[in-house]
Structure 1
């Protein structure tokens, strides 16, 4: 069974937990990962499992997580449940502030640059998170027009990630003793490309089992009417999407919080509204996800495929064949064995996510 290492935020070693009943480690490409650990209270190293300390699986120190929750039971000789979030969750402790003497923070940048600007402005240059740094900006992704004011930093970064496809994380750098915010586009490992080795998942290749296929248009919208500043006939309106007939599914987006600041052209303001429309359409996208346990040895995890890669999924029995990004991977450590579960594509939002979307809308 993999060893769990416990450190403090200053990277000081506290102890190892080698005996536990289960560890569930969830990785997310667009959002914030999490973990849940179960073990007996009498095992070595358990005394270091306290709120605020960090843990990681030995051999993969880059993906650390912070302990947020500890619950102890006196049944069955004493047990402990520990939960927490990936270091990415630190961004949820900040909101976006506008620059001094400005009502809003407004910019148009490539997606990677936009995410890094938000983090630099709100978690490093001002109200800094201890030892947080940003990796070099490669300006990847399409341009994103953004205007933000007192919004959740993590939510703003995640919205850009979902629209652009570019993933993000905070990586623990044990060598330099800092925490690096970084972005990545993921690899194209689909059957059609010939640059990299292909990653194809199917029952026929014996690398999938316990499949769940979900296709849903229950909350699907493909045209957004985005209403910005102004009143009545003077209100700025932008339409995003170009679908007609029965398949046209309209969504109204109240974007009066986006303001046309002094010196901003009509085209620049319309691009802000368009970006907001794209974000809301992404939240209301058609659900097409394939969840499965990964099995077999013909593809090696973290080598032949990883979180964020775009792969080919094929299921002859269900008539499924599509190229989708791996958006979530869950590692399950139990009884000396490691099981992997993956989500390919867009999943239906949870109840909490749906409530947040309605509040933002």
Structure 2
């Protein structure tokens, strides 16, 4: 059952039947949904842009950003597309320069708090958004970010530092939550081990990808200054053909601190601290050029031995052995789809990082 509310969480009604529903959740990014329903006056009035879809059996909620009409197969259908309420963050930019020297969790919480929850300008506040309690997730960073979109800045940090972000919605309140998945691989004994494979009967289909055409492991990062005076740092790995180099233009990283001296001049950031800013910029950029190894799998929903959202969850580390391909992969569940159609429910999971799509590759090039 799908429920619908407005942007202030006032319940408007429910969608009792539909021909198709895709409910996609992602570990370090905002999820998305697509819904196909009959064209009726009730559905047209209920499923308006900005309204929110949510389910009682899931803590995610999605707002409608698109709707269209289709008459495929001779049947009129209303098609709506949605994004997770996390994407409300893309309506705000970082209003200034942030110099972080703390944990990744604290940095992300500060960006959300100062730009959505308690901004200095009252008009920038999004009153629906709250944060869950601090979890003290480790992972120190030294990083400078200026005027970027809040959502993309946080998404980049989550992807770089392998951190999960989600919205928790109960129909009345919304909280943004940072978390880390649980290790359920065969390499540990603290948690029940989750093994997905066709030989165990819990996978119906699987597709394997392994690509390194964009892989980079060495970065020259150039920051403030001109010519030979430009400040640089390097991250180096490999020799010969195993060394793959990348230039990172980090000119936007200022080498001036927020403080001023007694004459009103900006104080220089110490060289060691600025070098760390450059290295973190390079680390984040190299994280976009990794070797892409992933399994796309369809789970057998009839099996009781391993069920999604009961035995394992989005963000968990899982083991996928494939005897035929001679592969044993321990990796994170980064995305899962629940697909509802007239012939039943299907679940697809993505374990590991897939080859980027063209829009993702273009976004990476312009950053």
* Counterpart selection for 1:142 from 122, 125, 139: 139
**Alpha-carbon offset, residue 198 of structure 1:** 0.7
Runs of 4+ in 1 over 6 A off after TM superposition: none
Does the aligned pair in 1 maintain the 2:37–2:43 contact within 8 Å?
A: no
* Counterpart selection for 1:191 from 186, 197, 221: 186
Partner in structure 2 of residue 101 of structure 1: none
Task: List per-residue Cα deviations over 1:53-75 (Å, max 9, x = no partner).
Answer: 10012322x21100111112467
Does the aligned pair in 2 maintain the 1:19–1:43 contact within 8 Å?
A: no
Partner in structure 1 of residue 260 of structure 2: none
* Counterpart selection for 2:2 from 1, 4, 11: 4
1:202 aligns to 2:159 (yes or no): no
Partner in structure 1 of residue 276 of structure 2: 271
Partner in structure 2 of residue 117 of structure 1: 110
**Alpha-carbon offset, residue 334 of structure 1:** 0.9
Matches within 5 A, 1:21-32: 21-32=19-30
- My pick for the range that moved more, 19-28 or 70-79, is 70-79
CA distance in 2, matches of 1:264, 1:173: 45
Partner in structure 1 of residue 33 of structure 2: 35
* Counterpart selection for 1:152 from 136, 149, 153: 149
Does the aligned pair in 2 maintain the 1:42–1:78 contact within 8 Å?
A: no
Matches within 5 A, 1:159-174: 159-174=156-171
Matches within 5 A, 1:46-125: 47-60=45-58, 62-73=59-70, 76-98=74-96, 104-125=97-118
* Counterpart selection for 2:224 from 223, 229, 236: 229
CA distance in 1, matches of 2:204, 2:227: 55
**Alpha-carbon offset, residue 245 of structure 1:** 2.7
Task: List per-residue Cα deviations over 1:179-209 (Å, max 9, x = no partner).
Answer: 2111001100011111111111111111123
Aligned residue pairs total: 350
* Counterpart selection for 1:281 from 265, 281, 286: 286
CA distance in 1, matches of 2:203, 2:298: 6
Task: List per-residue Cα deviations over 1:224-269 (Å, max 9, x = no partner).
Answer: 1111111122111111232223201010000010011225221111
CA distance in 2, matches of 1:225, 1:282: 14
TM-score (norm 1): 0.93
SS in 2 for 1:202: coil
CA distance in 2, matches of 1:6, 1:28: 22
For the aligned residue pairs, the C-alpha RMSD in angstroms reads 1.6
SS in 2 for 1:283: coil
CA distance in 2, matches of 1:321, 1:183: 29
SS in 2 for 1:201: coil
CA distance in 2, matches of 1:66, 1:164: 27
CA distance in 1, matches of 2:316, 2:103: 20
Partner in structure 2 of residue 252 of structure 1: 247
* Counterpart selection for 1:303 from 300, 307, 310: 310
CA distance in 2, matches of 1:109, 1:336: 50
Does the aligned pair in 1 maintain the 2:217–2:245 contact within 8 Å?
A: yes
- Give 5+ residue unaligned stretches, structure 1: 99-103
Does the aligned pair in 2 maintain the 1:327–1:345 contact within 8 Å?
A: yes
